Amino acid sequence: MPTLVPILTITGSDGAGVVGVQADIRTMSALGAYALTAITSVTVQNDDGSTSINDLPTDMIIGQVRAVVKEWHPKVTKIGLVRDVATIKMLKKEIVASQSIVLVPGIFSSDGMQIIPDEAVAAIKRHLIPMATLLILRSNEAEKMLAMKIKTDDDMIKAARTFINMGAESVLLRASKHSDGLLTALLYENDRTHFFTSHNTEGWQKHGVGGALSSAIATRLAFGDDITTALEKAHDYMHKQVVYAVKEKIQHSRKTVIYNKLMSILAENYNKSHDVEFYADKLCISTRYLSKVTNDVVGVSPKQIISDYVMKEAKILLESTNFNIQEISNRLGFSSQSSFSSFFLKNEKCTPLEFRMR
C-alpha cells in the first residue's frame, strides 16, 4: 500500500507523453501523489502523419477501474478521455464512491478537432456531469455541450449555471477569447464567480497545459484543499513549470501586468530571440527594470525565465517529434547546432541527444 495519497486517472494513452495518462502520472507524482491509472484508449501515429485513437473494450476499461478502486480506494478520480457510450454508463457505477470527481472530457483536441463523438458527449452530460465535484471545460467545449455561444462574461456565468443545474458541484470554464488580447477563465462554485484573465493567449492554450492543470487541481483536492485553494495552488505549480502567467497582486499590480505581457511576448518570440534586451525593448522598459519586475513578481531573473521557456520547448520537441537536433536547433532560433547543444548541456547537464535517449 503506497504511503502517498492515491489518485485515479481514467483517460487515454499518448505515446509522446505530452497529454493523457503519461502526463497525468508525471504531474501527480511531481506534486507528491500516488498516480493510479485506467487507460481508455491508445493513440497511434500513422504513416501519413495523422493520429488515430483506438478505444479499448468496455470490459477492459471497467476491469482496470474496478481493480484499482477495490485495492487502493483513491481519494480523487480524474476522468479524461472516454469516447464510448457503454463505458461512460458503466463508469458511473464504478466511481460513485469517490470522494471527489474531476471531470475533464476534452471534447476537442488542442488544434480544434472534435475527438469525442456526439453520442458520447450526450452520455457524459447525462451520466458523468451529475457526479462531478469539479467540471473543467474549455469554452468551445461548453459551447458544444450547451449549443450556445460564449461571447461575454455573462455568457460564461450562464453556461456555468447550466452545468450546475445538471448536477455538477462546481465548474471551471477555461480559454474564452471574448476579450481582445486576453484569455478569460471562470470558476463557479456555491453561487460565487471567480474570474481570471491572462495576456498569455498562447501559453495557456499550448498542447498539454489544460491536462496538467486539471491533474494538479485533482492532486490538491486529494490533499484536502477546497476548490478555490486547489485551483490557486495548481496555478502556482503550473506557473513554476513556465506556463507563464501570474494573478495580479494589488501591491505589485503594474509589475504583474508587465510580467504577464513579457510572458505573452516570449510565447510569440522565443524562437526568434533569447536576449533579455530584445524583450525589454518590446516592453519599452530598461533591462534593469525588467529584472526588478521579474524578481519582485516571481523571484527569477528574466534571463532564467527565457532559458526555462526555451528548455521546455526543446524538451517537448525532443520527446514528441522525430526532428533531428539540427532541425530542433533551427526551430528554437539558435545560430547553430553547437550553440543549442551547449545551451542544453548547461541547463540540463546532458546533451540533447542524451536526453532523447533516456
Record the pTM. Answer: 0.69
Name the band, by pLDDT with cuts 50, 70 and 90, for residue 2. Answer: very low
User: Tell me: the pLDDT tens digits for 214-252?
Assistant: 999 999 999 999 999 999 888 777 765 544 445 544 445
In a shared domain, residues 183 and 293: no
In a domain, 320, yes or no: yes
Domain boundary among 240, 265, 295: 240
User: Tell me: the pLDDT tens digits for 279-312?
Assistant: 999 999 999 999 999 888 878 899 999 998 899 8
Q: How far apart are alpha carbons 357 and 13 in whole angstroms?
A: 21
Residue 332 has pLDDT above 90, yes or no: yes
In a domain, 245, yes or no: no
Kindly report the CATH number assigned to the domain that includes residue 170.
Answer: 3.40.1190.20
Beta bridge partners of 268: none
User: Tell me: the pLDDT tens digits for 136-179?
Assistant: 999 999 999 999 999 998 999 999 999 999 999 999 999 777 66
In a domain, 186, yes or no: yes
Residue 119 has pLDDT above 70, yes or no: yes
Cell numbers describing residue 116: 469525442
Domain boundary among 216, 240, 264: 240
Find all residues with CB under 8 Å of 258, minimum gap 6, and list them: 283, 285, 290, 293
Domain span including residue 268: 250-356
Kindly report the CATH number assigned to the domain that includes residue 308.
Answer: 1.10.10.60
Alpha helix segments (H runs only) across 194-301: 209-222, 227-240, 253-269, 276-283, 287-298
pLDDT of residue 104: 97
Q: How far apart are alpha carbons 273 and 162 in whole angstroms?
A: 45
183-189/33-45 β-pairing: unpaired
In a shared domain, residues 127 and 273: no
pLDDT of residue 198: 65
Residue 36 has pLDDT above 50, yes or no: yes
- When computed from its CA atoms, the radius of gyration of the chain, rounded to whole angstroms, is 21
In a shared domain, residues 83 and 175: yes
